[in-house]
Amino acid sequence: MESMAKEQQEIKDNYTYLGFAWLKGLSEVRYYDLRNEASKLMADDLCLHVKEQPERVCLVYEGVEEMEINPSDEEQMAKMFTCYLLAGSMDGYGEFVDYALDTHRTLQQNLTRFFVEWFAKAEKGSAFLKRAKMVYSRYSLPYI
């Protein structure tokens, strides 16, 4: 999180947008269970009350398609994620959302918690982040 906070503003904006895209996708799911119920209910509430989407900047990625990283190295992970935020910006991160919706529901709960943590740490200037905080602060996302 701290490494991502040091990125250029367009990357941080797209990171926020990716979190919104994830929650929007989750809100459209009809089936859920206790493993991701808190995330699903929060996503429904957020999408119901958010009137203004976060900004998404369409960026061009001109780097390598594959890279080797050490997943325990925060700097390398942030760099890899930054590359993805560049490469996936054109389609609104649809592939990411679709893939995440097909994963284990426990991972969906963790992903939601990850993005909520980012929303809390992101700069508070946008109307989306202000509204999102009013919604997510009412929910507990248990570790499962």
36-93 confidence digits (pLDDT tens):
899 999 999 999 998 888 988 887 777 777 778 888 888 888 888 788 787 778 888 8
Q: For residue 48, give the amino acid letter.
A: L
pLDDT at 39: 93
Residue 16 contacts residue 93 (beta carbons within 8 Å): no
Q: Would you place residue 29 in the very low, low, confident or very high pLDDT band (cuts 50, 70, 90)?
A: very high
Q: Would you place residue 24 in the very low, low, confident or very high pLDDT band (cuts 50, 70, 90)?
A: very high
Q: Would you place residue 31 in the very low, low, confident or very high pLDDT band (cuts 50, 70, 90)?
A: confident
For 6-20, 60-74, 111-125, 126-140, which range has the lowest pLDDT when averaged over its residues? 60-74
Q: Among residues 12, 33, 53, which one has the least CA distance to residue 109?
A: 33
Q: Among residues 122, 125, 124, which one has the least CA distance to residue 14?
A: 122
Cβ-Cβ contacts under 8 Å for 49 (sequence gap 6 or more): 131, 134, 135
- Entry pTM: 0.86
Residue 20 contacts residue 54 (beta carbons within 8 Å): yes
